[in-house]
Amino acid sequence: MTKSLHIIFEIIRKEFYQIRQDKRMLMTSFLAPLMQVFLLGYAATTDIKYSTMVVCDLDRTQVSREFISKFTNSNYFVEGYNVPDPREIDFHIEHSEASVALVIPPSFGELIAKHQTARVQMILDGSDANTATILLGYATQIVNQYAESVVIQSLPARRMPDGRVIPEPRVWFNPDLKSSNYMVPGVVAFVLMIITMTLTSLGIVKEKEVGTLEQLLVTPIKPYQLIAGKLIPFIIIGFIDVMGVLAIAHYWFEVPLRGHLLTLFFLSGLFILTTLGLGLFISTIARTQQQAMLIAQFFFFMPFIYLSGFAFPIANMPQVIQYVTYVIPLRYFLEIVRGVFLKGSGFAELWTQAVVLFAFGVVILTLSVLRFRRRLG
């Protein structure tokens, strides 16, 4: 037993030595995860601020200017252009100089003074449906708040309308509705998947390319010792990357970590079992590192991104596709990471996802090991 452990330790030491000597692998192992978290942390967000707006104020009164200020003071809109004719709006939107336009009719201030209904026109660039939907939501909220303030000001002193229903919303877990609080934990899971799967597949395929894997096969090393020695370094690197990306998510992007860190580390280990197994499986198919990257990207990374809930809500997918998402391991790990970060969830709330991840990890890793051993034979 001691001799077997010594052989595994020597293989692990050889792997770390090769990683240290290979500058590209070293950067991929430690620097790339941190860079990806920074880049995706800023890019993967649905918050839209300071959107350029075209204003056509045909009323030109104190009331209309006050109404426009509600938009420009919200940090969602910036008055980039002010045109006297509504027909000039088309040019700015068609040339992508503005995403939204606000048209105020000539009688706006007069209607407000008479406590009558006043209509304004919002024009949005629908070529980007997601952005248009978000901006429309912002604009609707601003208009509703302004309308409510006008109604309250028009009432007699100390009198409120009878029978009003006043909503008092309470947003749990993410009270500021910051999309980064939702997206950055997903980025943590996504980066962990990419790094561990990529490093495992590339590390083993590289041994094939340079011929050192065949040299190891003629030694007294047993298959399980070789596999353990190959996988353990990437497990260690995976946990180092977890600590790095978690630190960036919490301290740089200020995503609250309400759950226990040990819970997240343990459940991350279950997910790493799956990604290592997939990386080992890819190494049995690919003959070159380029093939390994293409296989990982098109058959694993892209489906996982689209079907895990990382980029698109699963509830909005067709029913058939929703069933397919149940076989995507990243779906369960995303629920775990976001639950621990935002909700403070523990094993009591996440045991279902943990069991499923453990089952995925054991099955995938076992099948990959058996296939790898057959390849060695």
Contacts of 2 (CB under 8 A, 6+ apart): none
Q: What is the pLDDT of residues 249-290, one digit of tens each?
A: 888 888 888 889 899 989 998 998 899 889 988 988 888 888
Q: What is the pLDDT of residues 329-362, one digit of tens each?
A: 999 999 999 999 988 898 889 999 999 999 999 9
Asked if residue 141 has pLDDT above 80, the reply is yes
Query: HSE of 298 in the Cβ direction (CA atoms, 13 Å)?
Result: 6
Q: Which of 269, 330, 334 is nearest to 302 (CA)?
A: 330
**Greatest CA separation for the chain:** 95
With left for phi above 0 and alpha for psi between -120 and 50, is residue 254 left, alpha or beta? left
* Residues 28 and 242 sit within 8 Å (Cβ to Cβ): no
What are the counts of helices (DSSP H) followed by strands (DSSP E) for the chain? 16, 4
What CA–CA distance (Å, rounded) separates 363 from 371? 12
What CA–CA distance (Å, rounded) separates 345 from 23? 39
Instruction: Band the pLDDT of 1: cuts 50, 70, 90.
Output: low
SS3 288: coil
* Residues 244 and 218 sit within 8 Å (Cβ to Cβ): no
Greater confidence (254 vs 104) lies with 104
φ/ψ of residue 80, rounded to 5 = -80, -35
